[in-house]
């Protein structure tokens, strides 16, 4: 009897409760928003959806709902035919329509990843931070940092070098040039060493244009590299210092000095980051000759 039950479970999906790999996990090829929080991922996810939808609607217009079967169509068919038609339409809809935002398993504690479709993550997140910086309105309780992810690759040195050598050209290839810093963090991963990644990325940027210069105080661009397990998430952002390391709680605070400029903002940001060193390894750097630890 027990053998029969085991065979039955195996045949009819008795192990379906096990976690399946796939679209619900962070994987190479994904774009989206990486969000850190403090011990409450469920609340963080809810706040993230609320914020992202609010500002995405303003930028791109309300999301269009998926078409569904009408009651009149279903009434004209028997149950079996209606079921087949519904399944067919759902499958067709899934191919042509994806939700604007989908939560996936990030692979790390206190980190939420919202996958995006039809949205520019860098533009959207910058729009959110810009509004919070101007209005000083706190729109979240548990979200800490909100980082766009516009590119992903395998978190192995050879894969990262190949991917970044093309990805970074959009900002750094001659005749383009900029001041920059590199911000690195790894979670649940030992595939790539921090210093090796920083030096390799700085080397790539230098080859694209020797006029690209390091600026750890107030750079024009910040290269964000976040590794979780075997996935490397990448983005290049502006106003990283001004927006307090893309920290939603910090950027909404009223400045203690109304005349605070870029230099003062940079000093305040660095002081804040140095106080958070225990949270992880986050490094900003330029090339092999100059690098500074921020966390």
All domains of the chain, ordered by start, with CATH?
A: 32-61+98-252 (3.30.2300.10)
How far is Cα 165 from Cα 145, in angstroms, rounded to an integer? 27
pTM: 0.74
Average pLDDT, the chain: 81
Place of tokens 């030992």: 190
> End-to-end alpha-carbon separation of the chain, Å?
60
Alpha carbon of residue 284 to chain centroid: 18
pLDDT-derived band of residue 266, with 50, 70 and 90 as boundaries? low
- Res 97: pLDDT: 54
> Quick one: average pLDDT of 256-275?
49
Q: What is the pLDDT of residue 262?
A: 54
- Please name the residue ranges forming H helices in the chain: 2-11, 41-60, 71-75, 79-96, 121-135, 157-167, 169-172, 194-208, 248-251, 262-274
Lowest mean pLDDT across 134-138, 155-159, 275-279: 275-279
Question: What is the percentage of the chain residues whose pLDDT exceeds 90?
Answer: 63
Residue length of the chain: 295
pLDDT band for 160, please (50, 70, 90 cuts). Answer: very high
């Amino acid at each position: 009897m027990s053998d029969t039950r085991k065979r039955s479970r195996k045949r009819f999906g008795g192990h379906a409760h096990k976690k399946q790999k796939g679209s619900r996990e962070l994987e190479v090829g994904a774009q989206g928003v990486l969000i850190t929080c403090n011990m409450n991922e469920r609340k963080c996810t809810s706040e993230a959806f609320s914020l992202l939808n609010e500002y995405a609607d303003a930028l791109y217009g309300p999301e269009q709902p998926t078409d569904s079967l009408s009651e009149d169509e279903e009434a004209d068919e028997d149950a079996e035919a209606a079921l087949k038609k519904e399944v067919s339409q759902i499958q067709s809809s899934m191919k042509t329509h994806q939700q604007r935002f989908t939560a996936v398993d990030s692979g790390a504690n206190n980190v939420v990843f919202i996958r995006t479709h039809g949205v520019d993550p860098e533009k959207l997140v910058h729009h959110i931070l810009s509004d919070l910086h101007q209005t000083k309105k706190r729109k979240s309780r548990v979200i800490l940092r909100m980082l766009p992810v516009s590119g992903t690759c395998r978190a192995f040195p050879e894969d990262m070098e190949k991917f970044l050598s093309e990805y970074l050209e959009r900002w750094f290839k001659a005749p383009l040039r900029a001041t920059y810093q590199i911000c690195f963090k790894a979670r649940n991963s030992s595939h790539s060493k921090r210093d090796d990644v920083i030096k390799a990325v700085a080397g790539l940027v230098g080859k694209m244009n020797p006029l690209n210069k390091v600026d750890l105080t107030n750079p024009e661009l910040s290269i964000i590299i976040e590794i979780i397990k075997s996935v490397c998430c990448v983005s290049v952002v502006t106003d990283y210092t001004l927006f307090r390391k893309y920290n939603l709680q910090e950027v909404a605070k009223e400045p203690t000095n109304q005349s605070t400029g870029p230099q003062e903002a940079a000093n305040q940001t660095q002081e804040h980051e140095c106080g958070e060193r225990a949270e992880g390894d986050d490094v900003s750097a330029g090339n092999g000759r100059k690098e500074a630890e921020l966390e």
